[in-house]
Structure 1
Amino acid sequence: MITLGYWNARGLGQSIRFLLAYLGVEYTNKAYSTPEEWFGKDKNNLGLEFPNLPYIIDGEFKLTESQAIPIYLLKKYKRVDLLGLSNDGSNSEREVRVAQLTGVIKDIYKETLPVCFSPDFDKIKDQAFAKGEVLLKKLVSFLGDKEFLLTTLTYADFLLYEILCYYKYIYPQAITPTLTAYMNRFENLPGIKQYIANPNINLKAFLPPFATWSGPQ
């Protein structure tokens, strides 16, 4: 069984958890509650080539980095369509579009997550989130009246949904009716709907408790 290691929070691990839920993959969720659990124990003792969170361990195979893990999972479980890949391996414009959208969304993450750890969170959050909103507006325009970013679901949608959850709580004025409908569609996907409804899963812990803003109170 696959083990997914990450903080006991959503962070960069949540889109991977959603992906596993959507794929119907059973896994062990190794959640680190304190820095000591990771830095003082497992980081240098798991045999990871580039120790970092999140990580996955699949038998003898070990992998880190949030960009690489979804690629491994989608290829392992034969859902390369979510990466935009053609089944025959031929060149695909859709694959490039998924990569482009993933890059744009990660740019929003880069504007968002550091703010949540800043001691000046309350002073700078509006300015920082407004900067990310510029890219969000472009994504809304790109989405248009489609169900998902590229009409049918891709991994880019997993990333976009997760960052929208941050905006929903911290900068709700950015969540347009179009984005609300989009989030509802994602939340009702098979596997994800059941995951969200699971009372044993805490989706209000966005970041580890040592972040200034770790989630809604």
Structure 2
Amino acid sequence: MAPLKIGYWDIRGFAEPIRMLLKHLNIEFEETRYGFGNDSEESFPNRDEWLAEKFTLGFEFPNLPYLFDGDFKMTESVAILKRLARANGMIATTEPALSYSEMIEAMVIDIRNRLVYVIYAENSGTPEEFEQKLADLRERLETSLGQLEAFFQKHGSQWVAGDKLTYVDFLAYEYLDWYRVFVKSTPIFEKFAKVSDYMKRFEELPSLKEYIASDEHRSASCLSPFARIGHRWAKE
């Protein structure tokens, strides 16, 4: 059987939970990574490489990331992740674990979107105004982490769906890690022992420990050069 094929930008971004899930499951896959042009040229960054193919691959809703699974093809990051999870027993199937996991899925995507909205905004203001927006993000993050801490404290679970690792944990780990990477929020995480233990537990999974510690993961940009921060092209 032909290996799965995925396509995405040459960053962690919305595809990293998919990559980590496939690595955790030891599923072979091929990947096309689209660049943003030559960073020494005036046209950088651009989407030309992807746009040249976007409408030629036969997708009903052309977008990145995409998945080729045999004769089936699809786009949209969470939909891809859920398809792979269903096929490999990585989804909660009983209540209340299913409802809890879907609730936390929505919460972590909200956390991600708040961050993306701020750092991709075309008009993010002066450096001082932008720093204030980051401070506001950290404040809202602290509230969300407090709620997640209380959830783990109440239920005594290892993962969001209890003792079963699911696709939601891959979303939660990645998007919470973005805040640790470039919003200077590590001290906030240190206030919440249960959440910190959760992040550490994920990093220590035998299937992912080496990858998470590798340059392939750690040195990759969370976001594209169109973002104000969070990418390897950012000027110090």
Does the TM-score normalized on the shorter chain lie above 0.5? yes
* Cα distance, 1:173 vs structure 2: 3.0
CA pair 146-203 structure 1, distance change in 2 beyond 3 A = farther
Distance 1:183 1:125, change over 3 A: same
| Separation in 1, partners of 2:144, 2:20 | 23
The answer to whether 1:212 aligns with 2:228 is: yes
Quote the sequence identity (%).
32
CA contact (8 A) 1:56 1:69 kept: yes
Match of 1:162 among 174, 185, 198: 174
Query: Per-residue deviation at 1:155?
Result: 1.8
Secondary structure of the equivalent of 1:83? coil
User: Which residue identity lines up with residue 11 of structure 2 in the other structure?
Assistant: A
Question: Which SS does the other structure have where 2:31 is aligned?
Answer: strand
Which residue number corresponds to residue 186 of structure 1? 202
Alignment match of 1:151 (pick from 133, 140, 162): 162
Matches within 5 A, 1:49-68: 49-68=60-79
Query: CA offset at residue 214 of structure 1?
Result: 2.3
SS in 1 for 2:77: coil
Q: Distance in 2 between matches of 1:100 and 1:84?
A: 12
Q: Offset at 1:199?
A: 4.2
CA contact (8 A) 2:12 2:217 kept: no
For 1:180 and 1:215, the matched residues in 2 are separated by 24
1:122 & 1:33 partners in 2: Cα distance? 28
For residues 6 and 108 of structure 1, what CA distance do their matches in structure 2 show?
A: 21
- Please tell me the residue identity of whatever aligns with 2:141: G
The match for 1:132 is 141
Q: Which has the larger radius of gyration?
A: 2
Q: Point out the more displaced range, 181-190 or 121-130.
A: 121-130
Partner of 1:30: helix, strand, or coil?
Answer: strand
Moved more, 94-103 or 141-150: 141-150
What residue number does 1:48 align with? 59
Letter of the 2:170 counterpart: F
Name the residue aligned to 1:112.
Answer: 115
Are the equivalent residues in 2 in contact too, given 1:101–1:156 (CA < 8 A)?
yes
Distance in 2 (alpha carbons) for counterparts of 1:32 and 1:160: 25
TM-score by length of 2: 0.80
What is the RMSD of the two structures over their aligned residues, measured on CA atoms?
2.0
SS in 2 for 1:29: strand
Indicate the residue corresponding to 2:32 in structure 1. Answer: 30
- Following superposition, the deviation at residue 102 of structure 1 comes to 0.6
How much does 1:60 deviate?
Answer: 1.7
TM-score w.r.t. structure 1 length?
0.86
Shift of 1:146: 3.2
Q: Is the 8 A contact 1:9 1:208 kept in 2?
A: yes
Aligned residue for 1:67, secondary structure, equals helix
- Aligned partner of 2:79: which letter? A
Question: What are the superposed Cα offsets for residues 48-105 of structure 1, whole Å, 9 maximum, x if unpaired?
Answer: 11011111111221111112111211223x31xx31025xxxxx33222211111111
**How far apart are the structure 2 equivalents of 1:23 and 1:100?**
24
Matched residue SS, 1:141:
helix
Structure 2: which amino acid aligns with 1:20? L
Q: Please tell me the residue identity of whatever aligns with 1:142.
A: F
The alignment partner of 1:179 has SS state of: helix
